[in-house]
Amino acid sequence: MEKTMLLRVLEYFLELSNDEVVKSIFQNHYNKETLNVKAIKTVFEREGAVVPEGYTGKDVNKEAPRLYDGGFDLFFIRTMTEVLMGLYTLHLGMSYRKDIRQLYNRFIDDLQDTSNQVTEYLLEQGILIHPPIVPLPKEVEYVDKTSYMSGMNILKPKRVLNTVEIGLLYQSLEINAIGTQLMTSFAQVAENDQSKKYFARGKELAKQVTTTMQDILLESDIHPPSIWAGEITESTLSPFSDKLMMYITNMLSVFSLSGNTFGSAFSMRNDLTLKLNKIMKDTFDFAEDGGKIMIEHGWMEEPPQAADRRKLSKE
């Protein structure tokens, strides 16, 4: 599902790319993912299982006008490599068969290679903004007061953010800046009214999260960098099916949930945990409503499931 989605998006980006370096990066990754899809199909067929339909040529319109500009295609692929590397690392730890573990290792290597190429290119072009920089410590220090974990007392000043918290907040800022642009574009071109409204809601949620993260950084006198995430043209003809756009949105929502869960677990100020939990609640509600829309329109492909023993017993 993930890889056929990525192939369709890359097909559209390749069709409109006029930068030879970018085109080469995308084409190399497209070739690798094409081989990976074949490898996945081989596993299913060898086991006698039906091959999922995934996303096909019906889900992309390569003739659609340019919808993205200003390097958005690179930012999107960079985000996708982050999301999928996280998922595949998790899947690798869940796998027992040697051939499956080898397959996931290959997936991760391919994504790391593309991520490095895209990141280096964006840095060379000066459009990938660095996260905040903090002074390096000169000596080892230990926390000596429980107030280090407190942030809820309005009568006492909060401690400044530590590097773990800054990193997590900045990643959320970066992802939601891209998410805002993505949801804006999807709302602009979606054909189904229900999904169009859903994408508009997603844009507002991403903007809300961005504002929250910026405010937290400002409280510690850390100026939030102005994150560039490309531009959206005025085209209203969609390059992708609503089914594909809903799947991408659902995937990013799940990634956001896991990222905020991770952030909540590693934040050492209780006010941050509270704010991240609020974002998780809003994101969960958003993802759940998206799932309902996908089911209603027949856009959610059902994964394999355990045998229904009660039903079999009755039969």
Tens digits of per-residue pLDDT, 111-127? 999 999 999 999 999 88
Paired with 60 in beta bridges are: 240
pLDDT tens across 184-198, in order?
999 999 999 999 999
Q: How confident is the model at residue 293 (pLDDT cuts 50, 70, 90)?
A: very high
pLDDT score of 80: 93
Q: What is the DSSP letter of 70?
A: T
* Residue tagged 């970066």 (tokens): 174
H or E element at residue 283: helix 270-296
The alpha-carbon radius of gyration of the chain (Å, integer) is 21
Q: How confident is the model at residue 2 (pLDDT cuts 50, 70, 90)?
A: very high
Return the CATH architecture of domain 1-128.
Answer: Up-down Bundle (1.20)
pTM of structure? 0.92
pLDDT score of 132: 86
Q: d(Cα 29, Cα 10) in Å, to the nearest integer?
A: 9
Provide CB contacts within 8 A for 297, sequence distance 6+: 192, 194, 195, 242, 243
Q: For the chain, what are the domain ranges?
A: 1-128, 152-228+237-302
Fold equal for 1-128 and 152-228+237-302: yes
**Closest to 131 measured CA to CA, from 223, 219, 207, 220:** 223
Q: Give CA 166 to chain center in angstroms.
A: 19
Q: Do 229 and 180 form a contact (C-beta atoms < 8 A)? A: yes
Q: d(Cα 129, Cα 65) in Å, to the nearest integer?
A: 28
Average pLDDT over residues 37-43: 96
Q: Do 187 and 203 form a contact (C-beta atoms < 8 A)? A: yes
Return the CATH architecture of domain 152-228+237-302.
Answer: Up-down Bundle (1.20)
**Closest to 133 measured CA to CA, from 271, 228, 225, 211:** 225
Q: How confident is the model at residue 156 (pLDDT cuts 50, 70, 90)?
A: confident
Provide CB contacts within 8 A for 285, sequence distance 6+: none
Q: d(Cα 35, Cα 21) in Å, to the nearest integer?
A: 22
Q: d(Cα 218, Cα 144) in Å, to the nearest integer?
A: 25
Q: d(Cα 176, Cα 276) in Å, to the nearest integer?
A: 14
Q: How confident is the model at residue 262 (pLDDT cuts 50, 70, 90)?
A: confident
DSSP string, 93-105: HH--SHHHHHHHH
Q: Do 213 and 224 form a contact (C-beta atoms < 8 A)? A: yes
